Amino acid sequence: MLYWALVFFVLALVAGLFGFGGIAAASAGIAQILFFVFLIVFVISVVAHLVTGRRPPLV
Predicted local distance difference test score (pLDDT) of residue 39: 93
Question: Does 59 fall in a domain?
Answer: no
Question: Does 21 fall in a domain?
Answer: yes
Domain region containing 8? 2-52
Question: Does 57 fall in a domain?
Answer: no
Question: Does 36 fall in a domain?
Answer: yes
Query: Which has more confidence, 51 or 54?
Result: 51
Question: Does 13 fall in a domain?
Answer: yes
User: What's the average model confidence in pLDDT over 30-46?
Assistant: 92
User: What's the average model confidence in pLDDT over 4-29?
Assistant: 89
Question: Does 23 fall in a domain?
Answer: yes
Q: Specify the number of domains making up the chain.
A: 1
Residue 40 to residue 25: CA distance in whole angstroms: 23
Residue 57 has pLDDT above 80, yes or no: no
User: What's the average model confidence in pLDDT over 18-23?
Assistant: 89
Provide the mean pLDDT of the chain. 87
Evaluate whether 34 touches 4 at the Cβ level (below 8 Å): yes
